[in-house]
Amino acid sequence: MNITKTPDTATPDTATPASVERVQADYRTVKRLGHWTTARHIEVRAHRGGVVLDLRSPQITEGDIEIRLDLDHAWVKVLVDDDTDIDSWDLRFIRRGRVKDWTGENGSGRRVRLVGEIRSAEVRVHRGGVATLSALFSLEFIDEARKARKEGGTPSIPDPGYKG
């Protein structure tokens, strides 16, 4: 991927470095939950590890989200809203690999494009309530809940779109 500094356009090939979020997980699990980014272009590189990406935040700018994957014996769990459209047409599978989406139903909401290459790996899509449960049962949620209680606020990890 060619990354150049062009503030006028933000396409995948000419995106500014600030608008591309990079996540790397080699032999470990990396979780990005709650309000962790505003970028619509995400690069994930994982080797024998796992990545959890929470894409439910309203702080992510409007438009399609592109996730560029380079996975080798790894997994990526994507947390999205119920009406999200998952597009895996440009995803290349080498050896075993698949995109697991239990509902299998794409909505008419925001579109998430999965591009790149996965080798003996998988992408798991968790929607709606299952995405909320995935975020709740994490050490990151417990840490944020303790911090929010201390400060008198509300944790954002269970539902980043909640405005209570």
Q: Which two tokens stand for residue 31?
A: 């979780």
Q: For residue 163, what pLDDT is reported?
A: 58
The b-or-e profile of 34-56 (16+ CB within 10 A means b, else e) is bebbebbbbbbbbbebbbbbbbb
Neighbouring-strand partners of residue 45: 24, 70
- Helix (H, G, I), strand (E, B), or coil: what is residue 12? helix
Task: Report pLDDT for 164.
Answer: 53
Residues 69 and 91: their CA atoms lie apart, in Å, by 8
Q: Where does residue 9 rank: exposed (0-12), middle (13-18), buried (19+ CB within 10 A)? A: exposed
Say whether pTM exceeds 0.85. no
Give alpha helix (H) positions in the chain: 128-136, 139-151
pLDDT in tens, the chain (164 residues): 444 333 434 444 444 555 899 999 999 999 999 888 899 999 999 999 999 999 988 888 888 999 999 999 999 999 998 889 999 999 999 989 999 988 767 777 889 999 999 999 999 999 988 888 888 888 888 888 888 889 888 887 777 766 55
